[in-house]
Each structure stands twice: as structure tokens, then as C-alpha cells.
Amino acid sequence: MPERPPTANAPAVGGAAVYGAARLHSMTLLTQAVMVRANIDLDRMSAQQKVELADEIYVQQPNLLASILVFPRYGVDMLQLEVPIHVLLVAFQATKHCGHALPTISEDVQEICLQRLTATMKFTEGVPPDFIEQMITRFCVDRPERYLLAFVGAQLQSK
């Protein structure tokens, strides 16, 4: 069996970690084309179709949906939920397009990912912005699901 590249074995951080379980192979599952197609699909969906997709997520990934729906309890305005819900719907649609079912993401996995994200954010405190940009670029390039990560970043920056 060929040796996997080091990035395929690296721990996932942040939003990409949620779909880190999708790293069934060392290659990217959610290609740029898959992400674009999923985003276009979602843009073309009616409100009812989006509700049906959310219902699918509830059945297959209840913890992911719940982790977003709990935001208002922590002071997040309902209008601000649009971005994380959109990201989740597109990401889920993309996984359907690539034909790989993900194992259910547990609360424990989500907690570990949140701890890694928090640690990464703390690590960058006081680091010069140019160096942070280099770290982010390097991190994104090395991730198997870099197109998902890029999509999430773009959505967060645009809103």
C-alpha cells in the first residue's frame, strides 16, 4: 500500500475538521467543481427544497445542524444564522454530489475540533499579520478539503 502524504494524516483544524472524517482517501473529495455545483444547486433551490435538505442533514448529521441552531442561545441574531446554515447546506449537498456518505459527526468530534480551532486562534495572538496570512495560506493549501475550506472562508468574509 503506498504511503499517504503527511497532510493526509495531519489533524484537522476548524471548519474543515467537521468534514475531516470525509478523508477516506488522501485525495480531495470535494473538488472545486463539486463545491461550485453544490453552491449553484442551493442557489436554485426553493425554500421548501432547502427545508427538505435540512431534514436530510437532521437525519444524517443531527449534531452538525444542532450546533448551528443553538447559536441564538448565545446571542447570535437570527439573520446571522444565514451564513452558517448556507455553508452547511452547500457542504452537505457537495458530499452528496461526490457520492461519499460521511459517518455521523459526534459531539465529541465537534468538541475536539472546537478546541483545536480555539488553540489555533490563541496561537496567532500577537503574531504579525503577514505571518498569519502565510500560515493560513499554507494551512489551506495543505488540506485535502481545501475547496471546502476556501468556500467557508469566502462566505464568512462576504457577510
Residue 6: pLDDT above 70? no
Which helix (H) or strand (E) segment holds residue 120: the answer is helix 107-123
Q: Which of 87, 121, 74 is nearest to 19 (CA)?
A: 87
Residue 27: pLDDT above 70? no
Residue 143: pLDDT above 70? yes
pLDDT tens digit string along 52-90? 999 999 999 999 999 999 999 999 998 899 999 999 999
Contact 58, 135 (CB under 8 A): no
Spacing of C-alpha 143 from chain mean position: 12
